[in-house]
Homo-oligomer: A and B are copies of this chain.
């Protein structure tokens, strides 16, 4: 799936060339919903990403301007990954994917089902709320 240069100027293709692989979107999910910020935290996902794949994806997302990497204020062996404004703009895509998953997966988890009910009551309100929260360092399922 490695490609050199752009295959077209279609904006959907543009989006897919930046984050169109499963792991990138699962990293986004972990930041937005659970508030993960470090390599070690991303590595603990239930989907069990391989160390080399995670390192490559984080580097790619940083290079594409989706993630900012900054030194961890309390531990200089670690880096903090946070979403740029361009990365925060991916939140509506993540919510629509979650909505589709909830609608078509009989095993969808209760917190996700409840969250999507809120989403359908007022999509733009929830997108704004969550974007503001994540920008401030928090996440959907946390209060930090």
Task: Name A residues whose Cβ lies closer than 8 Å to a Cβ of B.
Answer: 1, 7-18, 20-22, 25-26, 29, 45-48, 86, 89-90, 92-94, 96-105, 107-109, 112, 116, 123-124
Contacts and interface: CB of A to CB of B under 8 A. Distances in A.
The 7 closest A-B pairs by CB, nearest first: A11-B101, A7-B47, A8-B46, A20-B22, A15-B101, A14-B101, A16-B22
A113 B97 CA distance: 22
B92 A96 contact: yes
Contacts of A46: 7-8, 10
Contacts of A8: 45-47
B10 A25 contact: no
Contacts of A13: 22, 26, 29, 47, 101
7 contacts: A9-B107, A9-B108, A11-B101, A11-B108, A12-B25, A21-B22, A123-B124
